[in-house]
């Protein structure tokens, strides 16, 4: 099932903060965050794994509530370069097996616009 | 290290034709995933290959198929094209399973079906 992202769009002034949420109706093994600028390929931001491990290489923070099957991406002191569409992707636990095993499903995206 | 490359970048076809898209992953990456991106549907998973084997498949009709070669390069084929197949097709590679590894996306192939 496709995760649900909220809000669908957000407009900020430089320096303001924003939170993007990602929610799934099923148990999750991992949540992934990607940013895509207009006309470009999605770029990896972070992976949050069940058990607390995180992998990422940008100064962006995120949380993963395994019990609620929710993740939030925190964008603080936003910069113009943060503008783009943010996608969360979710993967079910390995125990899910079947046709869900290993499959990453992305949400519809959240459009973030940062103005000077 | 070279990134993920996709060819061609743009393609225009007519209904009923077939098309083959190509993806070369980052050197050393054995997993290749394909996604369809449209304004209304976002990023839709097509399939994932690892060591020439299809490990996962999304909810697309059988007209969509793919394969992976021994050098990890991958192709996807769409037969009997429909207008609704117009989209950006993205390929992504990763070292291991996409569910716990960073994926590196290529620039995509923009397919227009007339």
Whose CA is closest to B103, among B41, B42, B39, B50?
Answer: B50
Residues 6+ apart with CB under 8 A from B84: B113
The model's pLDDT over B62-109, given as tens digits with 9 standing for 90+, comes to 999 999 999 999 999 999 999 999 999 999 999 988 888 899 999 999
Judged by CB atoms closer than 8 Å, whether chains meet at A108 and B101 is answered as no
Contact A115/B at CB under 8 A? no
Contact A91/B at CB under 8 A? yes
Long-range contacts from B60-63, C-beta under 8 angstroms, 24+ separation: B60/B36
Contact A84/B at CB under 8 A? no
User: Is residue B21 over pLDDT 60?
Assistant: yes
Instruction: Please tell me which of the candidates A41, A91, A106 has its beta carbon nearest to residue B108.
Output: A41
Neighbours of A78 (CB within 10 A): 20
Instruction: Please tell me which of the candidates B55, B103, B106 has its beta carbon nearest to residue A102.
Output: B55
The model's pLDDT over A83-113, given as tens digits with 9 standing for 90+, comes to 999 999 998 876 655 555 667 899 999 999 9
pLDDT at residue number A84:
96
What does B13-81 look like in DSSP terms, one character per residue?
Answer: E-TT--EEEEEEPPTT--EEEEEEEETTTEEEEEEEEETTEEEEE-S--TTEEEEE-TTS-EEEEE-S-
Task: Give the residues of chain A that fall short of pLDDT 50.
Answer: none
The model's pLDDT over B32-71, given as tens digits with 9 standing for 90+, comes to 999 999 987 789 999 999 999 998 889 999 999 999 999 9
Q: In Å, how far are A76, B78, B87, B104, B107 from B5, measured between CA atoms?
A: 33, 19, 18, 10, 7
């Amino acid at each position: 099932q496709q995760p649900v992202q909220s809000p669908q769009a957000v407009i900020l002034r430089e320096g303001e903060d924003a939170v993007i949420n990602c929610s799934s109706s099923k148990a999750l093994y991992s949540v992934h965050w990607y940013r895509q600028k207009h006309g470009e390929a999605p770029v990896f931001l972070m992976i949050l794994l069940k058990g607390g491990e995180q992998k990422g290489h940008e100064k962006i923070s995120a949380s993963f509530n395994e019990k609620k099957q929710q993740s939030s991406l925190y964008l603080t002191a936003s910069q113009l370069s943060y503008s783009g569409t943010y996608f969360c992707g979710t993967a079910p636990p390995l125990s899910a097996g079947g046709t869900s095993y290993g499959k990453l499903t992305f949400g519809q995206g959240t459009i973030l616009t940062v103005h000077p | 290290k070279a990134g993920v490359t996709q060819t061609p970048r743009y393609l225009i076809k007519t209904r009923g034709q077939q098309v083959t898209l190509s993806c070369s992953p980052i050197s050393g990456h054995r997993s290749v995933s394909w996604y369809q991106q449209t304004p209304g549907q976002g990023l839709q998973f097509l399939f994932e290959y690892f060591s020439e084997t299809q490990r996962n498949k999304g909810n697309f009709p059988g007209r969509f198929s793919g394969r992976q070669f021994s050098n990890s390069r991958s192709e996807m084929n769409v037969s009997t094209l429909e207008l609704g197949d117009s989209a950006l097709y993205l390929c992504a590679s990763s070292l291991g399973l996409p569910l716990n590894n960073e994926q590196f996306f290529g620039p995509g192939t923009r397919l227009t079906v007339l």
